[in-house]
Amino acid sequence: MMKAIIDSDLSTLSNELGVNACVLYIFLNNPINLRTTREAASLVVASDKHVVKQFKAQHCQWVSLEADKTSAPSRSATPTLDVANLMYKENMSIDITFLFAPKLTAKFVFYSNKLCITALNDKLELIKSKLLQVAIKINNSHKLIKQSLIDMGVINRKTIDILQFTAVGYSRKDIAPKLNLSVRGIDYYIEIAKITFEADSLPALIYNVNQYGLLKDFSEMEAKHESQ
Does pLDDT of 59 surpass 90?
Answer: no
Angstrom distance (rounded) from CA 75 to CA 6: 30
Does pLDDT of 176 surpass 90?
Answer: yes
Identity of the highest mean pLDDT range in 2-16, 61-75, 103-117: 2-16
- The partner residues of 94 in beta bridges, in order of sequence, read 108
0.85 surpassed by pTM: no
Query: What's the pLDDT score for residue 32?
Result: 45
Residue 201: Cβ within 10 Å count: 9
Cα torsion through 17, 22, 23, 29, rounded to 10:
-30
Q: What is the mean pLDDT of residues 213-222?
A: 67
Does pLDDT of 103 surpass 90?
Answer: no
Domains of the chain and any CATH numbers: 3-151 (3.30.450), 157-226 (1.10.10.10)
SS3 21: strand
